[in-house]
């Protein structure tokens, strides 16, 4: 079994800005900043998936239609459970369409979408004891995205490590 999800990875400038925000917020919120390499937007979390399904999921990923857009992250939020401080922004029609289309495609492969509402966000601080004092980022971050990735989460000492298994490359 492999722990899988579909994600969007940030461009380098967004990754640096998000890592800086996480480093600044961790002492304020308690907890620890996510490593810059782990910052992403999860579009679909699949959980534990049998390795026999990897080929089909990889094919779905590599055949995904081209897209390119940007999303402005300008606010901070807190999920009390699982104790995460995150960055997000105004609702994005592109992210919502990607999320919905992905789950529609995944349904054809036997996956069931979650019942909760999609809240696109980037986790910044894990094990946060409290939310950030501010509710907005000091400087908005424009995240440019243009490819979908199938990612494996490997749990180990020091937290999760992510490995891209497939992505659309043009």
Q: Which residue has the tokens 């910044």?
A: 124
pLDDT single digits (tens) 55-68:
999 999 999 999 99
- Which CATH number fits the domain 2-167, given the four candidates 3.40.190.10, 3.30.360.10, 2.40.128.30, 3.90.1140.10? 3.90.1140.10
CA distance 167 to 170: 10
Please choose, from the candidates 53, 78, 76, 21, the residue with its C-alpha nearest in 3D space to the C-alpha of residue 152: 53
Listed by start position, the domains of the chain span 2-167
Percent share of the chain, pLDDT over 90: 89
Reply yes or no on whether the pLDDT at 151 is more than 70: yes
Q: ∠ at Cα 58 (143, 160), nearest 5°?
A: 60
Please choose, from the candidates 140, 165, 164, the residue with its C-alpha nearest in 3D space to the C-alpha of residue 17: 140
Reply yes or no on whether the pLDDT at 75 is more than 70: yes
Reply yes or no on whether the pLDDT at 156 is more than 90: no
Buried b (16+ CB within 10 A) or exposed e, 118-137: bebbbbbbbebeebbeeeeb
Whole-number pLDDT of residue 37: 92
- Active site residue ranges: 40, 121
Q: Could you count the other beta carbons within 10 Å of the beta carbon of residue 151?
A: 23
pLDDT single digits (tens) 7-42:
999 999 999 999 999 999 999 999 999 999 999 999
Q: What region, left, alpha or beta, does residue 70 occupy, with left being phi > 0 and alpha being psi -120 to 50 degrees?
A: beta
According to DSSP, the residues that pair with 84 across neighbouring strands are 79, 126
CA distance 40 to 150: 12
Percent share of the chain, pLDDT over 70: 98
Mean pLDDT, rounded, of the chain = 94
Reply yes or no on whether the pLDDT at 170 is more than 70: no
């Amino acid at each position: 079994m492999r722990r899988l999800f579909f994600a969007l990875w940030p461009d380098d400038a967004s990754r640096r800005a998000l890592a800086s925000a996480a480093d600044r917020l961790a002492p304020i919120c308690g907890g620890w900043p996510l490593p810059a390499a782990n910052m992403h937007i999860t579009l679909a979390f699949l959980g534990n998936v049998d390795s026999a399904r990897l080929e089909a999921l990889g094919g779905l990923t590599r055949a995904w239609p081209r897209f390119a857009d940007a999303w402005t992250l300008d606010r901070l939020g807190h999920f009390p459970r699982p104790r995460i401080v995150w960055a997000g922004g105004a609702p994005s029609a592109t992210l919502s369409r990607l999320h919905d289309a992905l789950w529609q495609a995944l349904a054809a492969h036997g996956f069931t979408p979650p019942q909760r509402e999609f809240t696109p966000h980037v986790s910044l601080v894990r094990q946060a004891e409290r939310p950030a004092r501010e509710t907005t980022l000091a400087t908005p971050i424009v995240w440019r995205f243009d490819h979908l990735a199938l990612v494996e989460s490997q749990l180990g000492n020091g937290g999760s490590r992510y490995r891209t298994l497939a992505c659309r490359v043009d």
